[in-house]
Amino acid sequence: MKGLLSALYSACVYLFFLGVFLYAIGFVEGVAVSKTIDSGSPGDPLTALLIDLGLLGLFAVQHSGMARPAFKRVWTRVVPTQVERSTYVLFASLVLSLLIWQWRPLPDLVWSLADPPGREILVAASWAGWAIVLLSTFLISHFHLFGLSQGLSRLIGRPEAAEPQFTTPLFYRWVRHPLYFGFILAFWAAPQMSVGHLLFAGTTTLWILLAIQLEERDLIAQFGALYVRYRESVGMLLPKLPRLRPSQPGPEAPR
């Protein structure tokens, strides 16, 4: 019975997350949803700015705070281990839902690209960012990342591995955090950038840079020298350029 309840809980959380995430894509891209980053009646700019910053701060604190090993050690005394990740995903989805619901528009334009080919290139780049995000999650085990495999493990009789394996599939051979790169590309590749969109993109980018430092500290503690060597040889968000070797002096010309 516990296995069945865990599986149902994890499945429901995953479906809820999927709905919120797809809505968030429409929210940022301004398509197919009723509430977008620039929709609604603009109010007092200062009030809108403070509310939006508060919502972004709440998301950052929840997302990074609940992911830390110290928090997990305490949290799993209350929440069963097999649904700990699903519970984290549930809280993240609820906070993201709150952000979308309570977001205040700041519609004044920072830039607007009028050239049709240029607009199409930026729109395509933004959607490519979302594709990179999705593919990156599958490269590192999509269903484990969002708690579904842990919730189903007892029901299907396949216990989760005690220690995750360190692998570098596809994108991860060239950059350490392709998922975060995908988010940054999706947020910034906008043919029309409002103040609100810029606030969203800029704040989330700063949070991503901080989150990477926290995440890599945990990865070094978990994998040790293996991850240190990986960090030294692979770029964080962009591939590292090969180092140019100093040219060797050629043979001296005969006199």
| Residue 125 structure tokens | 């780049």
Token output for 178:
């392709």
> Mind giving me the DSSP string for 177-191?
-HHHHHHHHHHH--S
Domain definitions of the chain by residue range: 2-233
pLDDT tens, per residue, the chain with 255 residues: 778 899 999 999 999 999 999 999 999 999 999 999 999 988 999 999 999 999 999 999 999 999 999 999 999 999 998 899 999 999 999 999 999 999 999 999 999 999 999 999 999 999 999 999 999 999 988 999 999 988 888 777 666 655 567 889 999 999 999 999 999 999 999 999 999 999 999 999 999 999 999 999 999 999 999 999 999 999 999 998 776 554 444 333 333
Task: Read off the pTM.
Answer: 0.91
